[in-house]
Structure 1
Amino acid sequence: MSRPPENPRQAPGPGAGGPDGRRARDVQRPAAVAVIAAIVAVEATALLTAAGWYGSQLISGAPVLSFWGAVFTLGLLLGFAVWLLAVARFLFRGYRWPRAGALVVQLLVLTIGFPTLTGGYPLAGLAMLVPAAIVIVLLFDKRVISFASRTGGAPPAL
């Protein structure tokens, strides 16, 4: 149980006190969390780069079957990249929800990486498989799980 605030008018903020009485900012961030966040941020940057290249090809008049389908694909690339950046940021800050998002992304990367590796592009396949495997292993480290267990605090009622 957390301690009541010293000033009764002052409500405790998010992560103000856990079950053991420590504040979220007092907990030491494991190096594995920084590694996971960095890998996910690099994946998001790669998606942004792909979206930039895709958009430049679309503007330059590269032939496409459906213009609006290509615009939709560009929007998906941009949206997914922004979402991945949010996952990296909030996992680095210790929130709980990005762990699931990071795991799903790495599983999707694995499903693309294996066919790429066996399809004649070993370097590209390894560039996808190795970071995904590292993130999956680190996501299940007990220090990462204990650090990334912060929930979003409820906003004040009034």
Structure 2
Amino acid sequence: MSRPPASPSSPDSEPSDDGFPRRPDRPEHSTSGTARPRSMAVISGIVAAEATALLAAAAWYGVQLLTGAPVLSFWGAVFTLALLLAFASWLYAVAVFLFRGFRWPRAGALVAQLFVLTIGFPTLTGGYPLAGAAMLIPAAAAIVLLFDKRVIRFASRAAGSPPAL
């Protein structure tokens, strides 16, 4: 059951996209009273690109598994494929909710960037400098931008459902 509008004749009484009355003190484009910083879109784009790369790796891994590439354990390979798909979907969720301004995806994005750094450094020093740089540069940029004051201020929306009454 939703709350009735404060005044039926007021323009604010029309429901917003989520079915609740619009609040005049909060603009629709913002979650915490501030405009979305461009760096938030950059971070979300980096995380979404990493999720897409994981999805592509999962697709390649699945094709290799279906074409009969030798594996030690078939079910271990299926489990690895499931982990790749699960992590890619988790990263997509982090990118979407970070872009919306929620608080919890900042930690998830930071952990993902730290994982990318731990893979990127050995890749860079192991003879694949372009692949290593392609991992390290966006991850480092995302980590720096995650601690920007504007990003922290914007990403302060707590998760939770709106009031029922």
TM-score range, shorter chain: 0.7 to 0.9
One-letter amino acid of the counterpart of residue 45, structure 2: A
Please give the residue correspondences for 1:3-152 in structure 2 after superposition, counting only pairs within 5 Å: 6=6, 21-23=25-27, 25-26=29-30, 27-152=34-159
Separation in structure 2 between the aligned mates of residue 70 and residue 138 of structure 1, nearest angstrom: 36
Secondary structure of 2:127's counterpart equals: coil
Superposition deviation, residue 22 in structure 1 = 3.2
Superposition deviation, residue 154 in structure 1 = 2.8
Count of residue pairs brought into register by the alignment: 151
Stretches of 4+ moved more than 2 A in 1? Answer: 21-27, 153-158
What are the ranges of 5 or more consecutive residues in structure 1 without an aligned counterpart? Answer: 8-12
Secondary structure of 1:28's counterpart equals: coil
One-letter amino acid of the counterpart of residue 149, structure 1: S
One-letter amino acid of the counterpart of residue 47, structure 1: L
Superposition deviation, residue 152 in structure 1 = 1.8
Separation in structure 2 between the aligned mates of residue 79 and residue 155 of structure 1, nearest angstrom: 28
Deviations 1:12-43 (CA, angstroms, capped at 9, x unpaired): x79x77xxx53463431100000000010000
Cα RMSD over matched residues? 2.6
One-letter amino acid of the counterpart of residue 132, structure 1: A
Secondary structure of 2:71's counterpart equals: coil
Separation in structure 1 between the aligned mates of residue 28 and residue 120 of structure 2, nearest angstrom: 36
Deviations 1:101-148 (CA, angstroms, capped at 9, x unpaired): 000000010011111111111111100000000000000000000011
TM-score, reference length from structure 1: 0.85
More deviation, 71-80/148-157: 148-157
Separation in structure 1 between the aligned mates of residue 101 and residue 158 of structure 2, nearest angstrom: 9
One-letter amino acid of the counterpart of residue 127, structure 2: G
Counterpart in 1 of 2:12?
none
More deviation, 21-30/60-69: 21-30
Separation in structure 2 between the aligned mates of residue 120 and residue 54 of structure 1, nearest angstrom: 23
